Amino acid sequence: MVISKQLKEKVIIIAESDQQLRAEIKLNLNNHGFLNIKIALDGMQVYEILRSYYDAAEKIGLLIVNEQLPQCNVLEMCKVLSSNEASLIPFVILAADDQKDNIENSEFNAQALIHRMLLPINYSVLLDAVGFQLMMMHERHLRRKQEELLITELAERKIVDAKLKYLVGHDELTGLMNRRNFEGQLRLILGRSPMRKQEGALIFINLDRFSLVNELEGFDVGDRLLVEVVTIIRKLTCKSDLFARIGADEFCLFLENKAAQEIKQFAEHLRKTVYQLKFSSGDVCYNTSLSIGIASVNTVTADYHPNEVISRARQACRMAKEHGRNMVWSYNEADTKVQERNKDLYWVPLIKKALLEKNFFLVFQPVVHLSSGIVSHYEVLIRMRGLDNEVISPAEFIPVAERMGLIHSIDQWVVENAIDFLAKLPETSKISLAINLSSFAFQDDTLLPTLKEKLLLTWVSASRLTFEITETAAVENFEQTRQMIAEIRSLGCKFALDDFGAGFCSFNYLKTFPVDFVKIDGQFIRNLIYDETDQVLVKSMAEIATNLGKKTIAEFVETPEVIAKLKELGIDMAQGYIFGKPEQALLATSSIALDGLIRQSAKPKRFASWFGEKISQIESD
């Protein structure tokens, strides 16, 4: 039998009072590699040896004991040492006769590692017995370790499963309910039987400028701030209140059985308490504030869906932020911003559908030289077809597109389709277009590459394109817009400053703004005939623009009398319903590709003649 070195290093205790027999046993064991031998002359010495290995029981390998050993009850010793799986010690018992004793017949013998052999000793059999008992002990220990590992693994799995189960419904950082769990609990409350219906409110809490702490101090500091704020809020709430973290810095708190005024007072108290928190990180101290939105719930008068209540509270919180932060705001359907938000939800899918299904189209309005009546160019405007094929004005969908991030797609669509329109005209056509873009167009880095590529692919001359930008948009991002305009003008395009005069800073910016045309805002034109102040302002604009080398265009011109006055004041061009309403173009084979767009006549020469007659008549009167 091959015994491993590890097993041979185990301690073997020889418990024998006969000196000669002890020596023989030790010699035979030593000869076969068992060198770690301890000698005991009686039972008391056996226990003394074992006590010395109390903290290293695994080093004990085997006990060879004579059943006639003085001061020793072998049966009791076997019960104690060879029947306990935790401290199992094998026995080789040396017996003087072959009569069966109580050891082999005892009830623990099935589990114990006990081998009984007769004297005199057959050392070959003894060595086999020692090796077998050591190997059995080793296997028992391995099995026990495996069982312990399995038990430990199962226990760890139970802990992990419990933790995962907890995390499914809770936020790991704060220990609060997560959004899904909160919505489920709120659904149960809102869906209670009629006998338990009541009023309450959902409070939506947002930590103001939390992203600033994360950016300046790191996420660890941000997490610590969140925990401190949550701790404060918990102290002010009851255990029965639903409290959840539903976003990075967003929390929901649902309060039951409270009137609207009581909830408002609680929210104000909450806001003031958190505002007093001085959160420190190193040498920096941050003032903390909350924006709080309240959505009241009265289940006696209405049924609610959790998402509906949360959405209302979030909108109220947004209103608190827009009005300066560190505020409490109650949801009100009559709020302008709320109505605007609802409008956005209605229009966004329609705008996306229009982009995908080509439900946008262009209309064109002529811009006319006042001196000759000849069309200078056409302003391009966008329209949208509705569900019933009705024409929808840009005033309806452009503000929504600007708020919801869809405006850049619309601007690019206008640019590409306007250039495609010019590319389809006959080569002899001299028609130019003024493209009316949104206030965000010149903050879009993709506009310039798109324009370059489109002009290169279509071979349309850039000089036939004028881009219009409102004065408000130009002033708001002056340097960035100015840079973009300079780059686009370098391609050969022209620029017009739209709504000139509306911002009251116009003259200051016009001095350095790189535009070719100045479009005077319609508010100065509508009542021009009867308002001397408007006449003075328009004349001033014309003179300044002319001195700066820029052409002037008057908008909203609707009567011959206004045309005459504009000529008198030195305005170069005009557009308005008297010259033609914005209409779709009908491509023709002749050079007059916008047939039907100019009222009174499709032919520029005939229109110019009519125009001259009208102005002459007014001037003679």
Q: What is the pLDDT of residue 478?
A: 76
Whether 532 maps to a domain, the answer reads no
Cβ atoms of residues 562 and 538 within 8 Å: no
Which CATH number does the domain housing residue 217 bear?
3.30.70.270
User: Which residues does the chain have with pLDDT short of 50?
Assistant: 586-606
Whether 156 maps to a domain, the answer reads no
Q: What is the pLDDT of residue 493?
A: 92
Q: What is the pLDDT of residue 372?
A: 84
Q: What is the pLDDT of residue 144?
A: 81
The residues with which 37 forms a beta bridge, in sequence order, are 12
Residues 6 or more apart whose CB falls under 8 angstroms from that of 348 comprise 400, 404, 406
Same domain, 208 and 353: no
Q: What is the pLDDT of residue 290?
A: 94
Q: Which of 300, 332, 364 is a domain's end point?
A: 332
Q: What is the pLDDT of residue 382?
A: 92
Same domain, 283 and 355: no
Same domain, 327 and 378: no
Residues 6 or more apart whose CB falls under 8 angstroms from that of 505 comprise 475
Q: What is the pLDDT of residue 614?
A: 55
Q: What are phi and psi of 237, to 5 degrees?
A: -110, 165
**For the chain, what is the domain count?**
3
Same domain, 85 and 14: yes
Whether 116 maps to a domain, the answer reads yes
- Domain hosting residue 510, numbered range: 344-522+551-558+574-620
463-507 pLDDT per residue, tens:
999 998 876 666 667 778 888 888 999 999 999 888 777 655 556
* The model's pTM: 0.57
Q: What is the pLDDT of residue 600?
A: 34
Same domain, 230 and 267: yes
DSSP conformational letter for 219: H
Beta sheet of 11-15, edge-to-edge order = 37-40, 11-15, 60-66, 91-95, 114-118
Q: What is the pLDDT of residue 413?
A: 92
Same domain, 326 and 350: no
Q: What are phi and psi of 438, to 5 degrees?
A: -75, 170
